[in-house]
């Protein structure tokens, strides 16, 4: 399971960095811009938590997740940490619901966090 954790954390980190680079105008966004799937609309709202961009929070979350996959940290601690990620996901999904638009990159990142949580929960039980 260690390699799965690490792979998921790296995937989430890659997605978060891509979003950060888009916000810094370094990369172009490859996603539909009209209708319900509208990454630009979601990402241009630029939500922040405690003054920190959510993409940076996501990157930090996944950076911390990497050592959790290698060190002998009690599974309950890992599950609680991933539960914090679920709270962030819930908040971000509520923003997308209010906007009536979704971002495929955000949803992919959210799915990674959900899978990490389920894996950590499985390790507890």
- And the tokens for 13? 């980190």
Please check whether residue 106 is in contact with residue 45, taking contact to mean a CB–CB distance below 8 angstroms. Answer: no
pLDDT at 46: 79
- Residue 39's domain comprises 2-124
Please check whether residue 13 is in contact with residue 81, taking contact to mean a CB–CB distance below 8 angstroms. Answer: no
Number of domains in the chain: 1
pLDDT at 1: 55
- And the tokens for 14? 């890659």
pLDDT at 72: 80
- And the tokens for 52? 């920190």
pTM, two decimal places: 0.92
Question: Would you say the C-alpha torsion 43, 49, 53, 59 has a positive or negative sign?
Answer: negative
pLDDT at 108: 97
Q: What is the CATH number of the domain that holds 105?
A: 1.20.1440.130
Q: Average pLDDT by consecutive 10-residue portion of the chain (125 residues)?
A: 87 96 92 88 87 93 88 90 95 94 96 96 89
What three-state secondary structure class fits 101? coil
pLDDT at 69: 73
**Bridge-based pairing state of the strands 48-49 and 52-53:** antiparallel
């Amino acid at each position: 399971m260690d390699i799965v954790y690490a792979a998921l954390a790296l995937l989430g980190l890659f997605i978060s960095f891509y979003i950060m680079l888009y916000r810094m105008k370094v990369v172009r966004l490859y996603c539909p811009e009209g209708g319900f799937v509208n990454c630009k609309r979601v990402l241009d709202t630029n939500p922040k938590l405690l003054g920190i961009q959510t993409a940076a929070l996501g990157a930090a979350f996944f950076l911390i997740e990497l050592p959790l996959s290698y060190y002998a940290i009690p599974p309950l601690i890992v599950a609680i940490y991933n539960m914090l990620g679920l709270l962030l996901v819930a908040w971000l999904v509520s923003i997308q619901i209010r906007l009536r638009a979704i971002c495929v990159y955000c949803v992919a990142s959210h799915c990674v966090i959900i899978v990490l949580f389920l894996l950590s929960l499985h390790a507890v039980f």
